[in-house]
Structure formats: C-alpha cells, structure tokens
Amino acid sequence: MSTTPAARLYRPTPRNLALLARVLAEGGLVAAPTETVYGLAADALNAKACRAIFRAKGRPASDPLIVHVDSIEQADEVAVLNDAARKLAKLFWPGPLTLVLPKRAGVPDIVTSGLPSVAVRLPSHQLFRELIRRSGCPLAAPSANPFGYVSPTTAAHVRDGLGKRIGHILDGGSAKIGVESTILDLRDPRHPVLLRPGAVSREAMARVLGRKITIHRRIVPTATAAIAPGLLERHYSPRTPLTLVDKITPALVRSAGSNHALLFMQKPAQVNANTFWLCEAPNAFDQAAHNLFDRLRTLDNGAWSHIHAELAPGSDALALAVNDRLRRAAAKR
C-alpha cells in the first residue's frame, strides 16, 4: 500500500491562489501560512466547512477557532468591536494579536464552542490575506496539525501531520514568527485579560489601553468550552517525554544518557551529538520562537528517549511565549 501523502502542495502563483480561494468559497479546507504558524482554513461562516476542520485535526468541539479577517470592517462583521479593541487594532493589526469579543449572529456556534464570544485577528501574511480577499469570506483557521501535537511552521510539517486528511496545502515557506498569536480577552474592556502570550506584549497593550491587563491562569479541562484556543494544560506536545529546567548544567550534561537530547536556549560552548539549541546569540528570542516547533519536531522524530529543554530567561514577550509553549508541551499526560 502506498504511503504517499494525499495532500498536494501548491506554489503561491496567481493561478493556484485563485484555485485555492475557490476551494474555500465552496466549503473546502486549505492549509496556508500565516506569520505565526500554518493554519487549516475554512469559511468561518460555513458551519459544515468548520466542522470539517475539527474532524481533520481530531480537535474537540470545546476548543474554539480563531476567525481571520482582512480588514477592521470585516472584523466588525463577525465581532462587536468596542473602543478598546479599535485602539489595539489600529496599532497592532495586521499582526499577531487575537482579540476575544462578543460575536455577531452570523458566526456559527461550532466556531465559538457555543459561546457568545469569538476570537478574531487580522494577520499580516500577504498570502493568507489574499486567500481571504479572493474567497470573499473570513477564514477560521487553527494550527494545521493533529490536535495537541507540535504546531507546524512549514508546509512539510503540515503534510507530515495532515497529509492524508486534507487535500490542499499552500506552501509559503517558513512562518516568520513561529509561535501562535497573543490572545487578549476584551469582552469587558474595563478588565482585559491576557489569555495566551505571543509576539505582542502585555506591557505594550496596557500602555495603549491605559489600564492593567491581568493574566489568565486557570487550567481549562478538555471537555469544557474555552473562550479561546491554546488554554489547555497540555498542548503543542511531542510524543517524546519533555522535562524543563531553568538551565542545563554541566552536571545534567554529564548525567544525561546518550539517548537523552539536550535543548539549550542559546548555542553552548561545547556541542555534542545530543546537543541542540534555539538561538545563536544571547536573548535572541525572536530566533528562539522561530525555531522552537521545528526543533521539537526534529527531536521528536529522532531516536531520543527523553528531551531536556531550557526555559527562556527574562520577561521579553517572545521569551514568555516560548516558555508558555514549552510548559504546555511538557505537561503530564
């Protein structure tokens, strides 16, 4: 029996973009790049199409989808934008910021896990925005991978995970940022809540809003409807057991077996066969975020029995995002 993936990879030519936009407009699925990670897109206003996303990913209906739009006007068609949302959108859109707001009536319940709120963002990736424009519809798009596994940042990652479940993958190269968007709950603009850290920092948003932003710390059970994706305790997870440390010490290097991989934040002075890293220079957290999921996939596909990974130091927005993804990846099964 053939093991060749069913999904076809498409180069971003005008002809291919027109074809893929037609697939979306007709209720099909297309995996496509955003600036954060690759998403599995469908018409956000088509309940049947969005249910196909959940089937392809094996995603529980309690985990809602993010709706991607091409303009603030289109965002206002799916969500009720308050003044706080408009202030943030003006500064941070297009970009890696998702806002949770009251939803409009036309958004299907499958998209929002039955809740009266919707997560919405305007991405900066031109290919994804071109698909929105050409298809004529906002696009619901979670990460294009089997539910709970390491997020995809290349078309090859998508095909490895979903190649036999979907038919169309737009290859736009490697995702620039490499971790998912910041998510801010603005249902009550007087009490904004950071739900998931990303490239847009809590401090920057607080300055724009002129008020404190609290951090969501409650663990959401899988069976409970979440107000936004990325809130489960275990997520972004390799199959290989993962342990986190503040610093990989010489003692850990000596005691780790040859079948244990060591994932440093910065390239160490001494490199061995089991040594890997996320960035070359100190505090290069943009590089660390860009490389994170690719490194985890590489290690997971190796012959390692265990992975030891360093946490990022400091409070940089991307350092916090990297640590959030690592902690969820390392959570106990």
Token pair of 162 as six digits: 């979903």
CA distance 38 to 133: 18
Give the CATH fold of the 8-215 domain: DHBP synthase (3.90.870)
Please provide the DSSP assignment of 143-169 as one string: BSSSTTBPPP-SHHHHHHHHTTT-SEE
SS3 17: helix
| Residue limits of CATH 3.90.870.10 in the chain | 8-215
Q: What is the pLDDT of residues 36-46, one digit of tens each?
A: 999 999 999 99
pTM, to two decimals: 0.95
- Tens of pLDDT, residue by residue over 224-271, are 678 888 887 788 899 999 999 999 999 999 998 889 999 999 999 999
Average pLDDT (178-199) is 97
Spatial separation of the C-alpha atoms in residues 128 and 123, rounded to whole Å: 8
- Residue 108: asked if its preceding bond is cis (omega within 30°), the reply is no
The three-state secondary structure class of 138 is: coil
CA–CA gap between residue 85 and residue 76 (Å, rounded): 10
**CA atoms of 229 and 196, how far apart (whole Å):** 9
What pLDDT does residue 2 have?
44
